[in-house]
C-alpha cells in the first residue's frame, strides 16, 4: 500500500484528537470560518480529502449541503460517528464517483500535499464542478514553508539577528513530517507554479490568493522574533471554473 495512504489509516485517531472538534485553535478560529465564508452562496459542495468531515459539518451549520470524500476508511468511520447524517464517501480524489457538473463548488483543505497524482485530482474536480463554480485549495504555504525553512540566529552581528530561511523551494520532494509520539505523515513539497499551472490546465482561473496572518503567535515569541507575525503558514487559492469547459 502507498505509505501515505497507510499513514492516514494508522493515524486517523491522532488527526481527530489533535485537529478536530475544537482541538486545534487554528482550525476552529481561523480555517473553518474562512472556508465557510468562501463557500457561502454555493449550495452543493464537495470536499476532497475530508478526513473525518469537520469542514462539511461546519458548512452544514450554515445550511450548505456538502459531500466529503476520503480514501481512509478510519477517517470516514470516525466522521460517521461524529455526525451520522454527514454524507461521507470512501473514494480517491483522483477518481471521483460523481457525474459531470454535479457540484456548485469544491474544496481541498490541507490535502493536495498528500495526493501523489494531484493533477489528476484537479482534473476530476474540474469535471464534477459546474462552469462558474468555485474551487478553494488551502495548503501549507509552498514558498514560505518549504522543507528546510526555519529560524536562523546570526550571532555574528550585535545585536544578534534572527531571520527566516527559505528551504529548497524549487526542489520537488517527498518527505515525512514528524509530529512526535511515533506519528509521521508523508507529504510532497512542490513549488507554487506546479499548483497554479495544474489548476489552469484543468480549466480553473485563479481569482484570489489569501495568505492569512499566522495564527496563535505568543507574546514571548514576538519578543524574540517579531518577524514571525509576518510569515504566513497557509496559502489559500480561490479559483473559478472557466465557462464553456463543462
Ligand atoms: C490533513 S487531512 C485534512 C482533512 C480535512 N480536509 C480537514 O481539513 O479537516 C488530509 C486527508 O486527506 C486524505 N487523503 C490523502 N490522499 C488522498 C487521496 N488521494 N484521495 C482522497 N483522500 C486523500 C487523508 O486520508 C486525510 O484524511
Residue 124, domain member (yes or no): yes
Residue 42, domain member (yes or no): yes
pLDDT at 158: 87
Verify whether ligand 1 is closer than 6 Å to residue 138 (CB atom): no
Residue 227, domain member (yes or no): no
Give per-residue pLDDT as tens, 30-70: 999 999 999 999 999 999 999 999 999 999 999 999 999 99
Greater confidence (245 vs 181) lies with 181
Measured from the Cα of 117, ligand 1's closest atom is 19
Q: How many domains does the chain have?
A: 1
Residue 175, domain member (yes or no): yes
Give per-residue pLDDT as tens, 73-127: 999 999 999 999 999 999 999 999 999 999 999 999 999 999 999 999 999 999 9
Query: Which residue, judged by its Cα, is nearest atom 16 of ligand 1?
Result: 115
To test the ligand 1 pocket, which listed residue (67, 107, 114) has its Cβ within 8 A of the most ligand atoms?
114
pLDDT at 227: 74
What CA–CA distance (Å, rounded) separates 163 from 144? 12
Looking at residues 125-148, what average pLDDT do you find?
96
Residue 158, domain member (yes or no): no
To test the ligand 1 pocket, which listed residue (23, 70, 94, 107) has its Cβ within 8 A of the most ligand atoms?
70
Confidence check: pLDDT of 1 > 60: no
Residue 150, domain member (yes or no): no
Verify whether ligand 1 is closer than 6 Å to residue 74 (CB atom): no
Query: Which residue, judged by its Cα, is nearest atom 27 of ligand 1?
Result: 51
This prediction's pTM: 0.94
Provide, rounded to the nearest whole percent, the portion of the chain with pLDDT above 70: 93
Measured from the Cα of 138, ligand 1's closest atom is 8
> Three cell numbers at 176?
515525512
Report how far Cα 236 is from the mean position of its chain's Cα atoms: 8
pLDDT at 153: 83
CATH number for 79: 3.40.50.150
Residue 163, domain member (yes or no): no
Verify whether ligand 1 is closer than 6 Å to residue 96 (CB atom): no
Query: Which residue, judged by its Cα, is nearest atom 13 of ligand 1?
Result: 49
**Owning domain of residue 102:** 3-145+171-220+233-241
Q: How confident is the model at residue 157 (pLDDT cuts 50, 70, 90)?
A: confident
Confidence check: pLDDT of 222 > 70: no
Residue 185, domain member (yes or no): yes
Confidence check: pLDDT of 201 > 90: yes
Amino acid at each position: 500500500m502507498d505509505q501515505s495512504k497507510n499513514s492516514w489509516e494508522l493515524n486517523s485517531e491522532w488527526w481527530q484528537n489533535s485537529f478536530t472538534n475544537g482541538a486545534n485553535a487554528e482550525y476552529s478560529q481561523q480555517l473553518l470560518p474562512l472556508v465557510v465564508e468562501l463557500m457561502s452562496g454555493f449550495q452543493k459542495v464537495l470536499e476532497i480529502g475530508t478526513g473525518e468531515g469537520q469542514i462539511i459539518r461546519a458548512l452544514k451549520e450554515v445550511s450548505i449541503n456538502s459531500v466529503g470524500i476520503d480514501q481512509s476508511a478510519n477517517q470516514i468511520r470516525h466522521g460517521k460517528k461524529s455526525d451520522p447524517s454527514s454524507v461521507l464517501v470512501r473514494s480517491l480524489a483522483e477518481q471521483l464517483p460523481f457525474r459531470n457538473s454535479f457540484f456548485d463548488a469544491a474544496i481541498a483543505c490541507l490535502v493536495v500535499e498528500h495526493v501523489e497524482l494531484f493533477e489528476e485530482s484537479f482534473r476530476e474536480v474540474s469535471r464534477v464542478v459546474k462552469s462558474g463554480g468555485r474551487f478553494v485549495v488551502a495548503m501549507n504555504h509552498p514558498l514560505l514553508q518549504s522543507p528546510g525553512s526555519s529560524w536562523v540566529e546570526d550571532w555574528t552581528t550585535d545585536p544578534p539577528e534572527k531571520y527566516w530561511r527559505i528551504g529548497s523551494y524549487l526542489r520537488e520532494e517527498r518527505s515525512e513530517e514528524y509530529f512526535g509520539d511515533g506519528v509521521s505523515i508523508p507529504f510532497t513539497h512542490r513549488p507554487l507554479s506546479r499548483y497554479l499551472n495544474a489548476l489552469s490546465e484543468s480549466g480553473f482561473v485563479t481569482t484570489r490568493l489569501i495568505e492569512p496572518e499566522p495564527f496563535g503567535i505568543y507574546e514571548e515569541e514576538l519578543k524574540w522574533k517579531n518577524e514571525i507575525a509576518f510569515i504566513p503558514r497557509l496559502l489559500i487559492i480561490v479559483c473559478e471554473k472557466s465557462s464553456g469547459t463543462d
